[in-house]
Chains A and B, each alone.
Chain A
Amino acid sequence: DAGITQSPRYKITETGRQVTLMCHQTWSHSYMFWYRQDLGHGLRLIYYSAAADITDKGEVPDGYVVSRSKTENFPLTLESATRSQTSVYFCASSDLRLAVPQGQFFGPGTRLTVL
């Protein structure tokens, strides 16, 4: 089915481990985003990508790495997980070529717990 998917949906890991969260979209949207959602903070942008091989930092990029070798995929890696990275992570995509801004389309989220 067309849309935006994230995997895994749930992940438990330990402090210091590397974790990769996957995001895949089938619309060929040029822009993709990673957010984290924490109580009282709404959603905060971690990284975004304007196209394949083009990425840039958002509000809270420290401790995260992204890549975008293909338009449809935008993985997020926690190089050495910390407890403060326990959160729900959302991937989103959008297409700026649309004449009217459509907002962004969100994936279902990944709930990550770092012990």
Chain B
Amino acid sequence: AQSVTQLDSHVSVSEGTPVLLRCNYSSSYSPSLFWYVQHPNKGLQLLLKYTSAATLVKGINGFEAEFKKSETSFHLTKPSAHMSDAAEYFCVVRGFSGGYNKLIFGAGTRLAVHP
């Protein structure tokens, strides 16, 4: 079975400082992993995805994530936070059920960015 655990429900950073949102996964086979972002009162947007090509994945808006099999982690980072990064972030693993790409969501991490 597949699952994801987001280690922090809330993260607060100052504008211009690095962002680290932590995610651990569990999967019985080589996983496909995603990060989605949800801005207030908006739908979910795909930030980046890992599908067993490169272990360092670059996404939109300067975010990137590194797949570490030995640590079963897929942490999301950004070198310098911007006010517009304030949102909720979901780590997601793809699972299979009945042959379709079921997505299993973490509980989310709310990122606050302070001036």
Contacts and interface: CB of A to CB of B under 8 A. Distances in A.
A50 interface: yes
A48 B108 contact: no
Interface of A: 31, 33, 40-45, 48, 50, 56, 90, 92, 94, 96, 100-109
Interface size class of B (residues with CB under 8 A): 20 to 34
Interface stretch (B11-19, B41-49, B67-75, B78-86): B41-49
Contacts of B99: 50
Given A31-B100, A43-B90, A45-B102, A108 B42 contact: yes
B90 A48 contact: no
B51 A100 contact: yes
17 contacts: A31-B101, A41-B107, A42-B105, A42-B106, A42-B107, A50-B100, A90-B43, A96-B100, A101-B32, A101-B49, A102-B46, A103-B34, A103-B92, A103-B103, A106-B43, A108-B42, A109-B41
Per CB-CB distance, the 10 closest pairs between chain A and chain B, nearest first, are A42-B105, A106-B44, A108-B43, A43-B105, A106-B43, A42-B107, A103-B34, A103-B46, A101-B32, A109-B43
A50 B107 CA distance: 26
A45 B102 CA distance: 9
B98 interface: yes
Contacts, number: 58
Interface string B11-46: 000000000000000000000101010000111111
B100 A101 contact: no
A10 to B, nearest CB: 10
Contacts of B51: 100-101
Contacts of A50: 98-100
Contacts of A92: 44
Contact of A102 (B49, B92, B106): B49
Question: Which of A33, A90, A92, A106 has the most CB atoms of chain B within a 10 A radius of its CB?
Answer: A106
A20 B90 CA distance: 27
Contacts of A90: 43-44
Given A42-B106, A43-B103, A103-B34, 8 more contacts: A40-B107, A90-B44, A92-B44, A101-B51, A101-B101, A103-B101, A104-B103, A108-B42
